[in-house]
Amino acid sequence: MATFLYRLGRLAFRRRWYVALMWLATMAGVVFAASQAKGTSDERFSMPGIEAQQAYDLAQERFPGTTVDSASAQVVFVAPDGQKVTASDNRAAVEKAVAQLADGPQVDRVADPFKSEAVSKDGSTAYATVTYKVKVVDVTDVSKDDLQEAVDQARQAGLTVEAGGEALDSGGGPGGTAELVGISIAALVLLIAFGSMAAAGLPLLTALIGVVVSLASVTAVADIFGLSDTASTLATMLGLAVGIDYALFIVSRYREERAKGRAPQEAAGLAVGTAGSAVVFAGLTVVIALVGLSVVGIPMLTKMGLAAAGAVVVAVLVALTLVPALFGFWPNAALSRAARKTVRNGGRIKESTENNGGTRWSRFVLRRPIPVLLLGVAGLGAIAVPMANLQLGMPGDEAKSTSTTERRAYDALAEGFGPGFNGPLTIVVDAKGASDPKGAAQTISERIAATKGIVNVSPAQFNDAGDTAVFEAVPSTAPTAEKTKDLVKAIRAERTTVESEAGATFQVTGTTAVNIDIADAVQAALLPYLAVVIGLAFLLLLVVFRSVLVPIKAALGFLLSVLAALGSVVLVFQDGYGADLLGVEQTGPIMSLMPIFLVGIVFGLAMDYEVFLVSRMREAYVHGERPAQAVTAGFRHSARVVVAAALIMIAVFASFVTETDSMIKMIGFGLAIAVLFDAFVVRMAIVPAVLALLGDRAWWLPAWLDRLLPHVDIEGEALTQRPADDIDADSNDHATTGHATDSPAGARA
């Protein structure tokens, strides 16, 4: 692989105009395709195989022609203190608002609260349900403005009026803000790390090109494959983070090779052949982890994983081709100021042999491996403890800021009609074959109404065939409360007895039940998925490092960092510690997909740092250095770059905490804290401590296994053994912009 990538890097350097034009044409093509596409999809969250999904599908099948996918909104009216909405003046204001809402564009119907019994028992609150003729994604700004105008006019009559529902969902915070924050911090980190505007700007430029290509591609196919706004955001988040990091590693190795006296083209080839090999394997681990999300069985999660995986693939391709091509245009721009001055004066760049921060840190750890190891493991273990109390769910409007009308509408409905009103359970009765369908539905309705925790049950609605009924049961507790989860389990536990008595079957669905079932399914899939990911990490690193103990250490370190990250998420988003600092106004269950996301994505990112850092240690070891010297050599060459890369990833992920979408905020925080733990505690402290204790045993591999494993040469060993005429053959038309000449083929890469 190293030889192939070496030739690719040199080719991209020589044919830089072709490479640059190819990427510009690709970017223009996908941007044009995106401009002609419909945009992201509003495909409903689903998970085949769970009861709530089966009941939902049955209702769609038995009630043909119903607008189950239509967008809807709820307008909530609250009378002033001491008054009732049924008072003549207040009622007139509500009815006027209802009439105005009904005249709105795209509106199918509006349920009058006084005719649909949508008035609270104390008369203080009423709500009108607005049903649109179109899906959520097709609700126009004109329709939303019309609804807001009706709300404003009703407020002028003295009522408190708020609006909620999926039709008003804005899909998150202000677009682009998080990306700008992340890019700004990344630019500062790169400037400090490289001491050069050009060197700092190159990874940013190539990463932005990759993100544009990825985001436009996702947008172009979003409607076809049902990709949501969240999929686009995740692809942007990961594409930007890994795009900067991968380019950073190539640029850093290029500077290192130039400092050894390599000519620009040779340095570009060696940078891609060595650091590029690590980029390929690091990117591969991220892609495999993201694609592996499909095994969970949630279509939305699968699509998000595939979209993000596509962004990572683009980032890898950009790093391997566009970065060396840009070296060809400006071979000295990536160098430090002092190095550029030396080249301009006709001198040779000298490789620095001074000890740096990485060297000093590694020697500190090597002198105290046991205390460092114990402190790191104990610290992350303590942070991981809260994960034992992990509660999964799917936050709704209750997780939004109180500054939003959706959150205020949610609170008003909960206060007027009870906390369970915002999450009713939908009961689907299958009376096909029953001798008395209506009697069967009545029996089931009465038995569920008598269940402890149910406030009321609506009248059953039958389909035209008369063999299926649907009714709602309102719990006494909030949708995300543990008692509501227990209630659903209790209803299902009594199912056999109730069905036997009624002579018909029933299932429980509705948003609340769907979220509960998904949370249970994800929690059940978490440990198997974690086992698969850790097993994959072991096998992949076994091939890369040709060692048994290094992969075990890496996998256990990943497990420690991801558990600590999950513990931190529970502390903030579930228990509320520091929630105010992040703008989290409502704590509660952790988003059901969060653990799976964190495991999958952090696995890939953790292996990034493992590959980049330990590959340099192994490179030094296979070239004859002792274990302790190899650790120090790895830190001397890679520590600063790994720290810069980690800080950039943390900045990019943490910037998404500024988004108003609770799902994106939680993912951003979780990924940022996971990278912090994995890069700075596991890879920079625990890894060298373990390697120091293992010594030569760290690189042990049974002879029979060594013969079975494929040789991927991630250290670039083949590049140090090429005959001189091999380099000459590849260098006939190389650029001579730099003043240095190619070093002998036998020079170590």
586-643 pLDDT per residue, tens: 677 888 888 887 887 787 777 777 887 887 888 788 778 888 888 998 888 888 888 8
Cβ–Cβ under 8 Å, residues 550 and 699: yes
**Tokens at 112, concatenated:** 């009058």
The residue among 537 and 161 whose pLDDT is bigger is: 161
Range scoring the smallest mean pLDDT among 87-96, 201-210, 227-236, 648-657: 227-236
User: Which pLDDT score is estimated for 580?
Assistant: 78
Q: Which residue has the tokens 């205020």?
A: 408
Direct distance between the N- and C-terminal alpha carbons of the chain, in angstroms, rounded to an integer: 14
Rounded Cα distance between 78 and 119, Å, is 10
Amino acid at 196: S
Percentage, residues of the chain above pLDDT 70: 88
**pTM more than 0.75:** yes
Between CA 490 and CA 474 the distance in angstroms is 14
Report phi then psi at 49, rounded to 5: 105, -25
Distance between CA 228 and CA 588 in Å, rounded?
24
The pLDDT of residue 10: 93
Q: Measure Cα distances from 298 to 44, 50, 60, 293, 606 in Å.
A: 11, 10, 19, 8, 24
Q: Which amino acid is at 153?
A: Q
Can you tell me the distance from the alpha carbon of 412 to that of 743, in angstroms, rounded to the nearest whole number? 75
Q: Is the pLDDT of residue 429 over 70?
A: yes
167 CA to centre of own chain:
24
User: Residue 350 in contact with residue 259, Cβ under 8 Å?
Assistant: yes
**Measured distance CA(641)–CA(246) in Å, rounded:** 11
Give the pair of three-digit tokens for residue 109.
Answer: 């119907």
Contact (CB, 8 A) for 134 and 71: yes
Burial (Cβ within 10 Å: 0-12, 13-18, ≥19) of residue 722: middle
The residue among 316, 321, 324, 234 whose CA lies nearest residue 281 is 316
Q: Tens digit of pLDDT for each residue in 465-518?
A: 888 999 999 999 988 888 999 999 999 999 999 999 999 999 999 888 988 888
What's residue 727's pLDDT?
47
With H, G, I as helix, E, B as strand and everything else as coil, classify residue 109: strand
